[in-house]
Structure 1
Amino acid sequence: MDGVVVFDKDKFRQLYPKLDFNDAQLDMFFLEATMLLNNTPCSCVKSLVERELLLFLLVAHLATLQARLDSGNEAVGRVGSASEGSVSVSMDYGQTTPGEKWYVQTPYGAKYWQLTARYRSALYVVTNYPMPVRR
């Protein structure tokens, strides 16, 4: 299909060997990733190579979050402090924007957030056309 990234599970597994999930799980993570990043010809990320990288990072992020849930860790956020005697852990997001918080829970999400910064800024276009006068 033209203009879309086709998920290559073998390539993903080569790049992220620690994320050991079956094909069905990876397919669902990819579907979720495409709900976060448009994977159609209308995507703001026009380069398919770049879009594949970003989608892979999202799949890795989602897989890492799922692995944490599967291991019984339902905490959300980054570890702000921890102790050993009588076990104490506090979670925080640090200095982040509301939109960034979910992504910075994993290194993959944080990298995705940084790489997509240029797509989250406003575009200001200067033209030579006179502004219409409203009456």
Structure 2
Amino acid sequence: MSGSSIPPAAVTVPGVAVFDYAAWSALYPTLAQSVGAGQAQGYYDLACLYLDNTPTSLVRDLDRRAALLGLLVAHLASLGLPQEQGGAGGLVGRVAQATRGSVSVRTEFATLSERAAWFGQTQYGASFWAATRGLRQARYVPGLPQRPAIWP
């Protein structure tokens, strides 16, 4: 099968969400002006490090998983772009104070946990964090046998 003309990104695997640059750029036009398809695909690959994109992912619905991964792509792109290109502009955290005369801006993480603070740097990350709240809670599955971990 050497010499196949299908690029690896175009191969669909059951249970895996595939990145659609056209759909992503329609949702995030400001970012898409500065982030091309190749760069966005790179951010998508990174986003899959934060949210499992395999058939065993906690997010079973592929449309929902694709939307969450799209938010992560926007978050990563926003962190990487300068402010004049739609990015966060190097600011970390939420704006806590702004002044006009002599321009001063102060940001803070407030009382967010370390993980939440990283996502809270952009509107896209904050949206992702809010949308995945249920994934960060403990799950109890009744009826499953509990086996103690016995180490030899």
Could you say whether these structures have the same fold, taking a TM-score greater than 0.5 normalized by the shorter chain as the test? Answer: yes
1:86-101 equivalent positions in 2, closer than 5 A? 86-101=102-117
> Take 2:45 and 2:111, find their aligned partners in 1: how far apart are those partners?
30
- Number of the residue aligned with 2:9: none
* TM superposition shift of 1:131: 9.2
Q: Secondary structure at the match of 1:85?
A: coil
Q: How big is the alpha-carbon RMSD for the aligned residues of Structure 1 and Structure 2?
A: 2.4
Name the TM-score, length of structure 1 as normaliser.
Answer: 0.86
Deviation (angstroms), 1:69? 6.8
Q: Which amino acid aligns with 1:114?
A: A
Q: Residue in 2 aligned with 1:124?
A: 140
Number of the residue aligned with 2:94: 78
Paired residues, number:
132
Give the alignment partner of residue 29 of structure 2, picking from 12, 17, 23.
17
Aligned mates of 2:27, 2:146 — CA distance in 1: 52
Deviations 1:45-64, CA, capped at 9 Å, x for gaps: 11101100100110111111
Question: Could you list the runs of 5+ residues in structure 2 that have no partner in the other structure?
Answer: 1-12
Q: Which has the higher contact order (CA 8 A, sep 6+)?
A: 1
Kindly provide the amino acid, as one letter, of the partner of residue 25 in structure 2.
Answer: R
Cα distance, 1:9–1:96 mapped onto 2, change above 3 Å: same
